[in-house]
Structure 1
C-alpha cells in the first residue's frame, strides 16, 4: 500500500496540471481528512475549514513533494496540524490533546489513520466487486442494528434458512476478490483490522 502506483501517478499528473488527477486526489483522500477531523470532534463548518486549508496547503506543497507515495501520510499529518491550529484559534483555554502523549507520537497517529483509510478504501473496492445480491445481503447484516432475518428474507425473496449459507458464500467471494488479496498479502493484521473500521 505504501508505494501505491495509483497515488504516484495521480500526484505526477496533478503536478503537471491535470485537473482530473487533482479531482481524483481530493475524492480519494477527502474521507481521510474527514476522519482525522472527526477524531477531534470538530463541527461540520470547522471540518470544512480544515479541509479547505489542507487542500490549499497541498496545492502549495505538491510541486515540492519528494515522495509521491508519501502523500497519504502528508495529508493526515497536515490535517492534524490544521485541527490543532483551528482549536487553538477558537478557544480561550489551551485544548488538552490526548493524541499528543509521549507514548504516541504524532507521526504514529498519522500513520495509523492512513492505514485505516487505505484498508477501508480496499474493502469498499472489494465490496463493489461483489454481485448486487451479495452487496445487499451483507449490507443488511452489518447495518446498525442488523436487519432481522425475516426482513432479509422478504427483501431478497429467499427462505430464512438460506441466509446463513448465502452470507458465508458472499463472504468467501469477498475474501477472494483481487482487492482483498492485496490487503491480505500486506500482512497478517491487514484483513482483520481493515474489516473492523
Structure 2
C-alpha cells in the first residue's frame, strides 16, 4: 500500500514528487484520478481492448508531459481532456477498420457500477453521448470545476449547468417511461 495514500496531499505536491520520480506519488495520482480517465473512456463506448489502451496511453502521456504541466492543480481536467482526445483518435481509426466479428453489446452494467439498479444503467446507456460524458464526469470526478469539465468535454462553461439539467431531465424521463423511480 502506498505510503501517501489518503494523506490528502494536494495534487500539485503529488505532481512535484512524481516529477522527481517518487513511485508512491505516482501510485497516489493514479489511485485518485483513474476513475476520471475511466469515466471518459466508458462514455465513448470503446471496445474493451481499445478502452484499456486509451487508459494506458493517457497515463503514458502524463508521464511524458508531467514536467511541462503548468497547472498541476488542474490535473483531473488534463487527464479527462487527454483521455477524450485519445478516445476520439481511436474512434476515428476504427471507422477505417472492417470488423470481422459483430460487436458484443453487454446488457449488464459495468462491474464498476453494479449497484442493483439495472433500470438506471439502461436509462444511462440510452442517453446521448454528450450526456453520458457529462454525467459520468460529475459522478466520477465531483471535485472538477465547471471550467475543468467544460475543457474536458470541449463545451462552453456557460452551458454546463443547463446541459447537466437537460441531461438529468432526460434521464428522469427515461426512468419514468421504463417504470423506474425518476428520483
TM-score (norm 1): 0.47
Instruction: Name the SS for the 1:119 alignment partner.
Output: coil
Partner residue, 1:189: none
Partner residue, 1:10: 14
Q: Find the aligned partners of 1:26 and 1:5 in 2 and give their Cα distance.
A: 14
Partner residue, 2:61: 57
Q: Find the aligned partners of 2:129 and 2:141 in 1 and give their Cα distance.
A: 24
Partner residue, 1:23: 27
After TM superposition, list the pairs within 5 Å mapping 1:75-154 onto structure 2. Answer: 75-92=79-96, 99=130, 114-119=137-142
Q: Find the aligned partners of 2:52 and 2:73 in 1 and give their Cα distance.
A: 25
- Relative contact order: is structure 1 or structure 2 higher (C-alpha 8 Å, sep ≥ 6)? 2
Contact in 1 for aligned 2:43/2:136 (Cα 8 Å): no
Structure 2 unpaired stretches of 5+: 1-7, 98-127, 145-167, 169-183
Higher helix share: 1
Partner residue, 1:72: 76
Deviations 1:53-108 (A, max 9, x none): 10111011100001110100000000000000001111139xxx954xxxx9xxxx
Structure 1 unpaired stretches of 5+: 122-192
Instruction: Name the SS for the 2:70 alignment partner.
Output: coil
Is the alpha carbon distance of 1:8 and 1:71 closer, same or farther for their aligned partners in structure 2, counting shifts above 3 Å? same
Work out whether 1:40 is the aligned partner of 2:44.
Answer: yes
The structure that has the greater radius of gyration is 1
The CA RMSD measured in Å over matched residues stands at 3.0
TM-score (norm 2): 0.51
Is the alpha carbon distance of 1:78 and 1:35 closer, same or farther for their aligned partners in structure 2, counting shifts above 3 Å? same
